[in-house]
Every structure is written in C-alpha cells, then in structure tokens.
A and B are shown apart, each in its own frame.
Chain A
Amino acid sequence: MFGPFRASSPLSGGLLWKIPWRLSSPQKYRHRLRLRRVDKVVSIVDSALAKKGLSTKGLERWKDEMPKEQEMLPKDKYTVFDRKEKKYRKGIHKVPKWTRVSQRLNPPGY
C-alpha cells in the first residue's frame, strides 16, 4: 500500500497523466497576461500600419471579430466549447498547445 513498489495507477497501467478539471488561480492569472500580450502585439502592429495609412485583411478581421481580454466573459476566457462534455464546456487548459494558440470565440448559445 505504501513505499516505492505500491500499486498505483501509473505503475500498474503505464503512462498516466492527470490534468485537473479546472485551472488554478495562478494559471488563470498567467493566461490573462498571455491574452493581454497578444492584444498588445496586435495594437502595436495596427498603430504602426495606421501611421502609414495601411492595414491588412487579417488585422481587420481580428479587430472585428476577436474580443479584447477586458471584453471577454470569464466563461470564454477559461473554458471552451466541447460537444462531448457535460454542459458542453471544458477547461481551456485541455486544448492542445493552449498557451500558444488564440481561442477566444465559442459558438453562440453555448
């Protein structure tokens, strides 16, 4: 029951990684910082282009569609839509590469 050779799930079944079902509060804090960092990059690129009277399609689309960190609901910040989950939501930390992808929008009504 105790000691180095106890029967635990990783020992008897091989590889087992456990991801907690919700984010911890420091994780949420770092996630907000990352969201803000992306907002800052977009605003710097936008202002630099605007000084020259230019813009790009991708930038315009981002500004039209994507909410800023402050405008997002906590629900959208920390969870994402998933059709296989109960109540159709799972933690954003279950998304592959979640610290390096922008996932801000969810289907309306969910």
Chain B
Amino acid sequence: MAYFRVTLLRSAIGLPKKTHGALAALGLRRRMNTVYHPVSQDVAGMIMKVKELVDVQEVEQPLTKTEMREMRRPDPGFYVEKRAGLGR
C-alpha cells in the first residue's frame, strides 16, 4: 500500500484559516514535522491546499518516529571490537 510522506517546510503563519485547517487535518503542527497518509483522493485534496508549504514523497511503508530518528543519526566513525570486562 502506498503512502504520502508529507513534511511541513514553510509555516502557514499569516495565511488564510483554510490553509491552517488543512495542515491541522493532515496532522502537521510545526515545521519539519513529517506525517504519513495513505494515498487517497481526500488526502491529495488536502495536500493541494498546502502545496506551497510542504514536501511530498510517495513511499511504500510509513516509518515510525523512532525509525525516522535512527535514519537521521550520523555515523559514529568507530565500531566496538570487544567489550571490556567480559573476558572472565
């Protein structure tokens, strides 16, 4: 099943109430917030209302908050060969 990944890039401050309403209906509360919605006509209509403010991708599976956070984690630059104190 396909999903829309919607990220709010620009704030709707000062824009009409309907724009704020579409963002609230999508579940976008602050900038850089990401939500997943199944591909459907009503979601597409809401995205079209706020198309200037959001980034949209079509993805196969929605990611959880923890998974998205893990993807953002930078490479630590080392790996652990052996833990100390386990040789007993």
Contacts and interface: CB of A to CB of B under 8 A. Distances in A.
A87 interface: no
Given A45-B56, A48-B58, A100-B15, A59 B48 contact: yes
A49 B39 CA distance: 7
B54 A41 contact: yes
A55 B41 CA distance: 7
B2 A56 contact: no
Interface residues of A, number: 23
Given A38-B51, A48-B2, A56-B44, A97 B15 contact: yes
Interface string B1-39: 010100000101011000000000000000000000001
A27 B41 CA distance: 35
B2 A45 contact: no
A4 interface: no
B57 interface: yes
21 contacts: A38-B51, A38-B52, A42-B48, A45-B48, A45-B56, A48-B44, A48-B58, A49-B41, A49-B44, A51-B39, A54-B44, A55-B41, A56-B45, A56-B48, A58-B45, A58-B49, A100-B10, A100-B15, A100-B53, A101-B15, A102-B51
